[in-house]
Structure 1
């Protein structure tokens, strides 16, 4: 990968003497922007290109370049890769279109090109991409107009984009925001080096502080997960713009990149699971990137201090903080007393309204911040100064005071929010402060600093995935409920005692042996939603109840599902009262087996209050999954109901995830609905279960 992003020499194959053409731009950029190494134009029709000696072919160049930039039609691009591989070129960036993004013939041509490169030990970026850049090394292997006149300064923002145009847009906006760029990569068709490879490379680069990503769809789940886990382990924030939330957007993304976009809720869950911040807008993406690139520290706790010259803006920021799950705690009494001594007319609980008195006594801000951090145990602060930032002499005093506070409390991020003149903003940023004009955007940026601090803390977390052994293979065809729960029991998921009876009389006898009360259900692999056809009877207290219910259930099944395979009746002990939950597994086209959790039993589809995780995961991740649902408080002691056994619930989720990961593509769907979650210490048992194996030939 260094041969691509840090080459010592570059050849441009298809080089043009016209610096405005696609084949001419990289020659012009490399030459004019100061690439410090041989630039080798390859053009069989011209001995000179843009003042540089040109060569008829790569084999006739005086040295073998580390990197080749290929600007040729698709069939000729394949030939160029073949020639490069034969000469020992280590990497190539391919601008050419006409490959997998077009049709099956293009995909076959692309596959052949990849085979040639791999045989020659060569890495490929593209095809159908806008190129790459490494700003520190003055490497601009691209034809984007974005670097024609203005270059970004070197810095800590690395950009990885599946879209060339959006990637160029991002690099330009980063420059206009005053931030510095390290690595820039557009992956196009991702025939070899894909989005995940580029993220992993940036994560391990010491010059990268934050990774900005644009993703349309994942093509290799394992590589993406490994890259995101690596970024978290290296404490490199990943700020992602993932498009395709709507059906129209997902279809457009798929046709644009030939990648398969998974369900958007699964992407959301995967990003949370692996510590990626998903931005909802370009403004948010840049605000968060800016904060991560320039902040001296992440926010190591939830306690946010708000200092303001406007009481109303203080309330506005506090409302936004609560929405983003940041705590704006009242300051301790002794801290409030200290502030009242110097700010007798101020509101000192938090938010702290320093009032207009600050204009007369600018040093009060430093005093206030010292109390906030020293006595209030605040983890990060936002200072809203309205228009004070427009006054040059006040700015100097404010900045000096904040610098002293930062030196005294180095692990506490501070965001400054004020209208400023450009030179005033530049002075704050030169001193290392993050400046916003709009207060809720500042709060969102601080929440992102807290998000990444939590994520980085999880990198070293011991959360072992349950080890499952001696699992039976999934059967070839559909399975009934008894068979499904037996498979789940092998994974260590609790199930109720049950047996299969073929007649109502046999069911009555089984119920007597089991002990009343019992539950009776139709046993059929073809009837997944038993209650919809009247195929469930609860709270049966006698053999006669069982006989009567059994006959009725069998009649209803025959009437409403005449073609269904009927295996008999499930006789099950009635589970002790508890809270009903649903656990499920589905196959996501991008991430493979994904686990779902929610509350509500038969109402889960109506409530749509569920969370997802990519399998497999451990109990700690399962607890975070549980905490995400809106109805989470029902699992605590609530209105007379006991606290539920969260350890048992988390263990069931983790074991289900390990079961799903073990079977992989052989599994289509699992529904455990309901899982009865008992009171704390009483466990959780599956009262019903559906497993649908994938059809043979689908995996």
Structure 2
């Protein structure tokens, strides 16, 4: 059905490669092969049984470097947040159904790079123009103001020419909700003629329920320069994909090219802290972060009240005291955390309280952490996980208790660069907190981005040895003041 529909639209199918029965080729191989061919303008793919996620990303990166758009429709069984994030990270355009896969790939195959991002709407029906203009704005595109229509019958040619000559217009959408000969016939002729003489993308939405009209069958479908659609939504989604693709490829730099080929000195320091199958104490997990240049509070692990007082003087009052043991969880609920201690006597008493509670609960401590107290920042959580298909993953989201009520996270698959780290933060619904909500000062987003890049470096080097790594909370301080990992958890594979 999709092949016949493409043929009906006048789109040449250069290759058709069914997958699933072969032993030695998969979707990644085919995408990489087609992206290198001069006769392929776009690749449309049904993603089924994605086995090796890394090879799929390498293929998508290869296509992005060749500026060949890949439009993909994952099978329902393949849907998951990591796959969705990985495809978006490497510029693969997601389709929601076979019709969108067809329409979007067809547009991308024949459209030239846009000269501008403005989207103009012109048509013979004011209602249709208003509806399309609304969809354009809702899609986050740059609408050209004002949307126009209807002009008098004799002025269509001049109106279209004026819009196509506007340097701020990169796409012209013309909705034709119903054929009204002879005006719509002349309009189609004007659009086809204008499209041949411009680099601006011209799209027509032909709304006739029959689709048997000569203007549509011979005129629009016979044109190699006009992209034709049957619904407003399909047109706007395809236009957005077109603009997104060219914006992405213009700025794309392969993260694989800059990836380190040999382990860094940080990896050697970090591996000395790992013990297969065991969970690290908070102190050891923070040493792991420190090995990769991630800032942690000034802190000391002590085993006596006197040492606790000395450590508090070194860390600087006020301090936080935490009972420390590799398998210890729910410290706050057990009363094994004390906050805001401001004197030696409070520290001495706090040490005795923590050790007494641990003894009562039957918890064997490796000591008590005396930590510098950090206040007044935005709490985030950064986690390293392991996906069976894509390997190490990095996720960022709101920290503390709030995510349980309002999940808000963004995920990427290493390696990735600064642009993707910043894109992760823009995906968070709570991004406004970093900008300074409710008169709070703006946060140090640059420092946060640097933490994400260091965490993804850690994930690449230690991902096969770490089952989980969590920084929660990561407190992002005011602009220019950095970001500090207040608590961390690490579990070895």
Can you give the 5+ residue segments of structure 2 that lack an aligned partner in the other structure? none
- TM-score of the pair, normalised by structure 2: 0.89
Correspondence 1:55-134 to 2 at 5 A: none
Secondary structure of the structure 1 residue equivalent to 2:83: helix
Aligned length: 480
Separation (CA, whole Å) in 2 of partners of 1:642 and 1:634: 10
2:319, 2:341 within 8 Å by CA — same for their partners in 1? Answer: yes
Correspondence 1:169-318 to 2 at 5 A: 169-244=1-76, 250=77, 264-294=80-110, 296-299=111-114, 301-318=116-133
Secondary structure of the structure 1 residue equivalent to 2:215: helix
Q: How far is the alpha carbon of 1:284 from its aligned partner?
A: 1.6
2:325, 2:367 within 8 Å by CA — same for their partners in 1? Answer: yes
1:525, 1:565 within 8 Å by CA — same for their partners in 2? Answer: no
Separation (CA, whole Å) in 1 of partners of 2:202 and 2:337: 60
2:65, 2:254 within 8 Å by CA — same for their partners in 1? Answer: no
Bigger drift between 611-620 and 499-508 goes to 499-508
Per-residue CA deviations over 1:15-72 (Å, capped at 9, x if unaligned) read xxxxxxxxxxxxxxxxxxxxxxxxxxxxxxxxxxxxxxxxxxxxxxxxxxxxxxxxxx
Give the alignment partner of residue 302 of structure 2, picking from 501, 525, 529.
501
Q: How far is the alpha carbon of 1:505 from its aligned partner?
A: 4.9
With over 3 angstroms needed to count, the CA separation of the structure-2 counterparts of 1:383 and 1:177, relative to structure 1, is: closer
Q: How far is the alpha carbon of 1:395 from its aligned partner?
A: 4.1
With over 3 angstroms needed to count, the CA separation of the structure-2 counterparts of 1:479 and 1:317, relative to structure 1, is: same
Aligned to 1:523: 324
Separation (CA, whole Å) in 2 of partners of 1:438 and 1:409: 24
Q: How far is the alpha carbon of 1:623 from its aligned partner?
A: 0.8
With over 3 angstroms needed to count, the CA separation of the structure-2 counterparts of 1:271 and 1:543, relative to structure 1, is: same
Aligned to 1:44: none
Q: How far is the alpha carbon of 1:322 from its aligned partner?
A: 3.4
Q: How far is the alpha carbon of 1:535 from its aligned partner?
A: 3.5
> Which structure's relative contact order is higher, taking Cα pairs within 8 Å and 6+ residues apart?
2
Secondary structure of the structure 1 residue equivalent to 2:58: helix
With over 3 angstroms needed to count, the CA separation of the structure-2 counterparts of 1:189 and 1:662, relative to structure 1, is: farther
Aligned to 2:140: 325
1:436 aligns with 2:229: yes
Q: How far is the alpha carbon of 1:662 from its aligned partner?
A: 0.7
With over 3 angstroms needed to count, the CA separation of the structure-2 counterparts of 1:372 and 1:592, relative to structure 1, is: same
Separation (CA, whole Å) in 2 of partners of 1:170 and 1:240: 14
With over 3 angstroms needed to count, the CA separation of the structure-2 counterparts of 1:190 and 1:640, relative to structure 1, is: farther
Aligned to 1:654: 453
Secondary structure of the structure 1 residue equivalent to 2:14: strand
1:605 aligns with 2:404: yes
Separation (CA, whole Å) in 2 of partners of 1:298 and 1:374: 16
With over 3 angstroms needed to count, the CA separation of the structure-2 counterparts of 1:394 and 1:205, relative to structure 1, is: same
Larger Rg: 1
Q: How far is the alpha carbon of 1:591 from its aligned partner?
A: 0.4
Separation (CA, whole Å) in 2 of partners of 1:308 and 1:529: 63
Separation (CA, whole Å) in 2 of partners of 1:266 and 1:646: 24
- TM-score of the pair, normalised by structure 1: 0.64
2:125, 2:177 within 8 Å by CA — same for their partners in 1? Answer: yes
Can you give the 5+ residue segments of structure 1 that lack an aligned partner in the other structure? 1-168, 245-249, 251-260, 332-349, 695-699
With over 3 angstroms needed to count, the CA separation of the structure-2 counterparts of 1:507 and 1:183, relative to structure 1, is: same
1:464, 1:618 within 8 Å by CA — same for their partners in 2? Answer: no
With over 3 angstroms needed to count, the CA separation of the structure-2 counterparts of 1:310 and 1:398, relative to structure 1, is: closer
Secondary structure of the structure 1 residue equivalent to 2:393: strand
Separation (CA, whole Å) in 1 of partners of 2:172 and 2:492: 53
Correspondence 1:435-584 to 2 at 5 A: 435-460=228-253, 464=258, 468-471=264-267, 472=269, 473=271, 474-476=274-276, 477-557=278-358, 562=362, 565-584=364-383
Separation (CA, whole Å) in 2 of partners of 1:555 and 1:310: 79
Separation (CA, whole Å) in 1 of partners of 2:80 and 2:10: 32
Secondary structure of the structure 2 residue equivalent to 1:673: strand
2:300, 2:369 within 8 Å by CA — same for their partners in 1? Answer: yes
1:368 aligns with 2:159: yes
Q: How far is the alpha carbon of 1:409 from its aligned partner?
A: 3.9
With over 3 angstroms needed to count, the CA separation of the structure-2 counterparts of 1:441 and 1:615, relative to structure 1, is: same
Q: How far is the alpha carbon of 1:575 from its aligned partner?
A: 1.8
With over 3 angstroms needed to count, the CA separation of the structure-2 counterparts of 1:396 and 1:170, relative to structure 1, is: closer
Separation (CA, whole Å) in 2 of partners of 1:557 and 1:581: 29
Per-residue CA deviations over 1:81-124 (Å, capped at 9, x if unaligned) read xxxxxxxxxxxxxxxxxxxxxxxxxxxxxxxxxxxxxxxxxxxx
